[in-house]
Structure 1
């Protein structure tokens, strides 16, 4: 199965659980599926109409903090993530690879259930959009993070600190992550 085919299956299954999706996530899911139907290269950075990316919010073992990266180019606190690569067999594998590379943490795991959120954001030309498929990555006990070349900094933030350092897309991702993990607010 190609990564493109996997993405279509993941997106078709996204939100099929008991909680379902809100209107905004339902619309994004359809936009992503339409994009992939129109663009056989829609998984790759070379697709100038935009492309899917994969990211993961890294959660500590006690589930009270998240690890964010101060992105070198954007100079914003964000979850780990980036472009899909030819060696990625699935979107989940791409998200896990990106989270591992950018956090330096070995042994991250993605809980069952697939992605927790979708987020579309504009990027500079020649491409126009990142269509991000967002997962949760759980850090193992004793995890030691290590900053990557893509980051200016890497730091753990308590859940209640995230809104003070990150933009609304990361706050929404944290809310959906906590819901997916069965945590209250």
Structure 2
């Protein structure tokens, strides 16, 4: 079962404790949490939660992959939360594994940032008529 709105709000509160100047940018996400429904479901509009992972190697290089869904943009691994993801971190780790083949156990999680995401990015997603999806927002927890 994906994380519920209360758990996501707690994560956002921890993030905003470190980045209070981003509260206005996250207003749409905070409003979405007040509405009924699952804010992690890809059918939740006008926007829903997604998760990405910033994978950094010992030489401080950041892993990027070419995302087909974005027309080939080079992005960090990430995507939609799935029903089996119990936490946002679990969703991010699953996405890394699916998109890169790197097993979650092969990654070293940074203890300093486990309590809150490094970044919560709000970005627009173009409509996808072939998927029957209108334009919407991704609230991407990284």
TM bucket (normalised to shorter chain) is 0.7 to 0.9
Pairs within 5 Å for 1:95-134: 95-106=92-103, 107-112=106-111, 113=113, 114-125=116-127, 126-134=134-142
Kindly indicate whether the alpha-carbon contact (under 8 Å) linking 1:59 and 1:65 is maintained by their aligned counterparts in 2: yes
Kindly indicate whether the alpha-carbon contact (under 8 Å) linking 1:47 and 1:127 is maintained by their aligned counterparts in 2: no
Q: How many residues align?
A: 129
Structure 1 consecutive aligned stretches of length 4 or more whose deviation exceeds 4 Å: none
- TM-score of the aligned structures, taking structure 1 as reference length: 0.63
Report whether the alignment pairs 1:70 with 2:66: yes
Report whether the alignment pairs 1:10 with 2:2: no
Equivalent position SS for 2:46: coil
Higher helix share: 2
Pairs within 5 Å for 1:142-161: none
Equivalent position SS for 1:3: coil
Higher strand share: 1
Cα distance in 2 between the residues matched to 1:14 and 1:111: 15
Kindly indicate whether the alpha-carbon contact (under 8 Å) linking 2:50 and 2:80 is maintained by their aligned counterparts in 1: yes
What is the CA-CA distance between 1:22 and the residue it aligns to?
A: 5.6
- Flag structure 2 segments of 5+ consecutive residues without an equivalent: 128-133
Q: CA RMSD in A?
A: 1.9
- TM-score of the aligned structures, taking structure 2 as reference length: 0.80
Of stretches 63-72 and 78-87 in structure 1, the one that deviates more from structure 2 is 63-72
